[in-house]
Structure 1
Amino acid sequence: MKLQKIGWSGLISILAALTIGEFRFIPNSQFKIINSQALAQTQAERKAEADRLLDQGIEQYQISQFQAALQSWQQALIIYGEIKDRQGEGKALGNLGNAYFSLGDYAKAIEYQQQLLAIAREIKNREGEGAALGSLGLAYLYLGDYAKAIEYQQQVLAIAREIKDRQSEGKALGNLGLAYFSLGDYAKAIEYQQQWLAIAREIKDRQSEGAALGNLGIAYSNLGDYAKAIEYQQQVLAIAREIKDRQSEGKALGNLGLAYSNLGDYAKAIEYQQQWLAIAREIKDRQSEGAALGNLGLAYDSLGDYAKAIEYQQQLLAIAREIKDR
């Protein structure tokens, strides 16, 4: 029985980039007679407030306070609209799209990203255009529309190469690999991940290097080459510990557990899953906690210890219901 697979980590980092919903400008007709000096001061003050809200939302997002982040960015969006700051408006829209993506509302994420895309093209911001296209590609990927996902990521790749943004080029390649992986084309998935890995090493981006290695490990695992899968996941584990990325460390441990389980080494599989479980609980990642519990249950099931298998699956069931993961 195969254990639950851990998702790929090659997602574009889309926090402070430009990314989209319907927004109406709010007129301030009562201020029409203010003199130009006072208006300039008011504009500067309003922009400073919007910038503060934008940064506040980013801080909230980074600690998974998504609803609070949405509120901060909505307020920033209103102010940017009032002062006709199109770049700021685009940033707020993009971050709103990213937050809805994190909440699993891909339709709303797409709506916001499309608006960002329009603004980025209007103000000729190629970097923002690429970020919007990348986010759209990811949203369609999660909706299972792999053809559309590939189309958007190819556009990102073209822009990244045009503006010589090696980091975005690498992430686009990684996301293309993810799309081909989802289509079951592991050879093409590996080819794209290898290209991402090369760029990550070239620009010394350790986090992206770890993500590419992890994705390669998962691809080889799906091809049944568990020795190579273990080799890649061990490299991920070393990088995650070096850069103190606890979430990636946990997922690498979980993927190592899966590989050993597929090799029939259930004792080692359980050891790795227990380590992942401990990290998931430490960082309060309920989804990963549930996945680790489920994998432990399946390992004990393979060992014929059905009482323990049931115990772990019951714990997974409770978490799945709590986080509404149908």
Structure 2
Amino acid sequence: MQNFKWLLILLSQLVFSQIKTQAYSKKQIDSIISATYSKSNIKKAVKDASEAYRLSDEMGYGYGKMRALYSVVNINIYTGNNKKAIEYANQLEKIASEENNYLFQVFAWGTKASAYAYLGFFKEADSSLKTAESLSKNLKGDDFYYAMGDFYKRHAEIEEMRGSGPEIILKYDLKSFLSCEKIKNVYRRITVTATQAYNLGSSYSAVGKPDSALYYSRKAYSLSLKAKNPNDIAFGLMGIAEAFKNVNKNDSALYYYNKALPLFLNLKQDYQQQYIYEDLSSIYENLGESKTSLYYTKKAKDLAYALSKKEKGDINGTYEYLLEDNNRK
């Protein structure tokens, strides 16, 4: 009788664990992951992506694992945790290779390229980017245009960090935008084009074409509202502000910067906060409001100092990681 009771307990535990694992369908997991791309609460986004990865792993859902990891990689890049981004991207590349999924292999190598460049490892960034381009040749249709849009976006990003001229950066940003526009899937096209429209607007500002800069910045904002992505909405607002600042329309610039800043604060996007503080300082100096200008100068410098310390730790950690990786090989 006692053994029978234990058997019942064991069976009930097995049934419960099975119900718990199967409580989520693949469609529901996909929805959880999609939501992480538009969450303004970064900690919640990482937690949800991690949970989605666990659930996908339990049911052997490789596509879910890749999407969840890609979300985590991008969150780490956006928040400046580039060493972590590289580690997660390596994990994503491994799973994508096992799944024979070339699109996520391209994404893995592309995100590694960006993370390496942010840390100043341009040799590794160039090598990763070259691998991403090579893998993209295995794709067709929407996946190919999606991959090439990402490839050219990373290329522009890396050239900017390398200190290349604005014309070179514009060339790659335009190629990325045109690739994204060829995607037939409406939702996918809107989301990726929103991001790239902001980048293109910034590039047009850099080459002294304010009308084009404002056009693409407004396009980025309108597309991001359709996609309901707080990150892209914040960038769209900042792009419009930058375009107005560059033609000395200070009141309009201040209006849009003050709408973008709370979003970046909520998203914990420290680098974007720093850029806005610097621009606010410049605007208020031009307006003759020196006290307010100094206030934002100090905020920008304090944030830059904190980020510099963090970057130094990331760089040292990446050196160690690369050394360990080479030893494993």
Give the TM-score taking structure 1 as reference length: 0.69
* Larger displacement relative to structure 2 (199-208 or 233-242): 199-208
Match of 1:128, as an amino acid?
F
Q: Structure 1 residues 45, 127: closer, same or farther in 2, change over 3 A?
A: farther
Q: Which one of 241, 250, 257 corresponds to residue 277 of structure 1?
A: 257
Report how far residue 203 of structure 1 moved: 3.7
Match of 2:149, as an amino acid?
G
Q: Which one of 215, 218, 235 corresponds to residue 248 of structure 1?
A: 235
Unaligned runs of 5+ in 1: 1-29
CA distance in 1, matches of 2:61, 2:217: 43
Question: Pairwise CA RMSD of aligned residues?
Answer: 3.9
Give matches, 1:7-22, under 5 Å: none
CA distance in 1, matches of 2:44, 2:92: 21
Match of 1:99, as an amino acid?
I
Q: Residue 4 of structure 2 corresponds to which residue in structure 1?
A: none
Report how far residue 200 of structure 1 moved: 3.1
Match of 2:21, as an amino acid?
R
Q: Residue 219 of structure 2 corresponds to which residue in structure 1?
A: 239
Q: Structure 1 residues 47, 137: closer, same or farther in 2, change over 3 A?
A: farther
Match of 1:233, as an amino acid?
A
Q: Residue 116 of structure 2 corresponds to which residue in structure 1?
A: 140
> Is the aligned partner of 1:188 residue 2:168?
yes
Q: Which one of 297, 306, 310 corresponds to residue 313 of structure 1?
A: 297
> Is the aligned partner of 1:174 residue 2:153?
yes
Give matches, 1:1-326, under 5 Å: 46-49=21-24, 52=28, 55-56=31-32, 58-60=34-36, 62-164=38-140, 165-186=144-165, 187-203=167-183, 205=189, 208-209=192-193, 211-219=195-203, 221-222=205-206, 225-226=207-208, 228=209, 230-243=210-223, 244=225, 246-260=233-247, 265=248, 268=249, 270-281=250-261, 283=263, 285=265, 287=270, 288=272, 291-302=275-286, 304-314=288-298, 320=303, 325=307
Match of 1:46, as an amino acid?
T
Q: Structure 1 residues 92, 305: closer, same or farther in 2, change over 3 A?
A: closer
CA distance in 2, matches of 1:39, 1:308: 64
The answer as to whether partners of 2:150 and 2:176 remain within 8 angstroms in 1 is yes
**What SS is found at the alignment partner of 1:62?**
coil
Report how far residue 117 of structure 1 moved: 0.9
Report how far residue 42 of structure 1 moved: 6.3
Decide which structure has greater helix share: 2
> Runs (4+) of structure 1 moved beyond 6 Å?
38-42
Give the TM-score taking structure 2 as reference length: 0.68
- 1:214-248 C-alpha deviation (Å, 9 max, x unpaired): 434544554xx42x2x1221112331353336323
- 1:87-109 C-alpha deviation (Å, 9 max, x unpaired): 44444433333333333222122
The answer as to whether partners of 1:110 and 1:136 remain within 8 angstroms in 2 is yes
The answer as to whether partners of 1:213 and 1:235 remain within 8 angstroms in 2 is no
Match of 1:252, as an amino acid?
G
Report how far residue 132 of structure 1 moved: 1.5
The answer as to whether partners of 1:213 and 1:232 remain within 8 angstroms in 2 is no
Report how far residue 142 of structure 1 moved: 1.8
* Larger displacement relative to structure 2 (203-212 or 123-132): 203-212
**What SS is found at the alignment partner of 1:140?**
helix
- Indicate the structure whose relative CO is greater, using CA pairs within 8 Å and at least 6 residues apart: 1
Q: What count of residue pairs does the alignment treat as equivalent?
A: 281
